Chains A and B, each alone.
Chain A
Amino acid sequence: MRPPVPFPDQIRVHPGPALLSGIERGPSLAAHRSQHGAVPRLDSAALTDVVSSVGLRGRGGAAFPFGIKLGAVLDRAGRTRRPVVVVNASEGEPASSKDSALALTRPHLVIDGAVASAVALRAQEVHIVLPGDRPPAAAALRRAIAERDDPVELIEHTAARRFVAGQSKAVSELISGRPNLPVTSWQPEATSGVGGRPTLLSNAETWAHVGLLVHHGTAAYRRFGTSAEPGTALLSVTTPGAVPSVHEVEYATRMRDVLPTTLAGAPVLIGGFHGSWATWDTVASLRVSVPGMRSLGVALGAGVVHAPGHGTCPLALTVRITDYLASQSAGRCGPCLNGLPALALALHLVLDGSGGRDRVEELATLVVRRGACAHPDGTVRLVRSLFTALPGEVSAHATGGCVATGPMERLAS
């Protein structure tokens, strides 16, 4: 099934203040070294210090503190258990383009962050997981890897073309030579990941931030953002009729500043297919912040901002996304395998006015937290947010109407 927001053929990467500064000089190793210098050597204490003092959080979606993950790996690591470093650039979320943007413009910053960390951890391998759905980004990373000469081995893998392939357990499975699908996590990756070894696995953007920090230190990093949330984050913005774009913004930037004014009034999906709907009023009040957005029930996640515009019914789009997410289940966990198609069906009935929210909520309760990965949980987050944020759009359908399109919007099959 094609995703309702397609994987982009091309993306527009806007120059930014930190990660995306100097992109006009191209992605070559020579340009990168002249801008940032050689990979600095840090020990594990120094690495812990730089990432923890700025409160660096993972940018894959969960916003987990990187320093805590690093600490868990260090606790577990020893001479007989060398840790493994993993760069997850699989980016299976179609509406996200930020890791592609880094692959195309800043691949060596990403790799430097991972290599410097691997050296600090005495790891011998950096595994780099390329996106299966984005050939240009994968090719750009391959070119970058081929240019390098590092004291650790860089090993490429290509993620399966499936939404759940980027889940951390699924990535560990891929690297361990098994199918690229989620399995039950009895211990976090940091404790027991690839081959049972302590594994420092992070998203490509997170590694680019680590790269900046090891090259230029915390003072440079703190020039952007706020004292509570220093630095920047990448946003992937999709709007009607425009090439998907990637913006590097400082924390505390107003979310509406990355959206065209013509979209004022229309609801926005924040966080992608596993994200949350927000009314325009909420979007207009949002500033880019992990705790600030969390308190408003709209997680920053991996920074996906999908603004379908005035002419798109958010309920109809949610139905199409839920259909897609059901098709992307790995099919291994019963509640997800059975529950997501049932949930999608229940939503179809809400869309055509013949079904109610009760069945949707019953199924949501049945699938949430009952799988090896967060796929059912993310799907439920999306669905519940529609009912919470946009109840008027939903109730209009019960009487055959539609707030966005007036007459009933027919689903494209």
Chain B
Amino acid sequence: MTRQLRVDWPACQARGLCHELLPEIVDLDEWGYPIVTGPVTDDLRGDAATAVRACPRLALRVVG
């Protein structure tokens, strides 16, 4: 199964670090909340893990 980045929406407060760290698959909407645009491919696994650890709200997980 492909790995996906999932957002814990009630936890997310639109700090935007995920977009800074993982712009390949995270855009921001007009309110600053992440839009996940694709799966976590093998070459992005390291950056995705960094984004998960860096989120100040602990609102990201890689699942699958």
Contact = CB atoms under 8 A, between A and B. Distances in A.
Interface of A: 181-184, 186, 330, 332-336, 338-339, 366, 370-372
A182 B10 contact: yes
B33 A370 contact: yes
Contact of A335 (B11, B13, B29, B61): B29
Q: Across the A-B interface, give the 9 residue pairs with the lowest CB-CB distance, nearest first.
A: A333-B9, A332-B10, A334-B33, A338-B31, A184-B8, A372-B9, A371-B9, A372-B10, A366-B29
Given A366-B35, A370-B7, 13 more contacts: A184-B11, A186-B61, A333-B9, A333-B10, A333-B12, A334-B9, A334-B14, A335-B31, A335-B33, A339-B31, A366-B29, A370-B9, A370-B33
Contacts of A335: 9, 29, 31, 33
Contacts of B13: 334
A342 to B, nearest CB: 8
Contacts of B7: 370
A366 B30 contact: yes
Contacts of A184: 6, 8-11
A304 B38 CA distance: 36
A153 B24 CA distance: 52
Contacts of A338: 30-31, 33
Nearest to B13: A334
Contacts of B10: 181-184, 330, 332-333, 372
A338 B32 CA distance: 10
Nearest to A363: B30
Which of B6, B8, B61 has the most chain A CB atoms closer than 10 A to its own CB?
B8
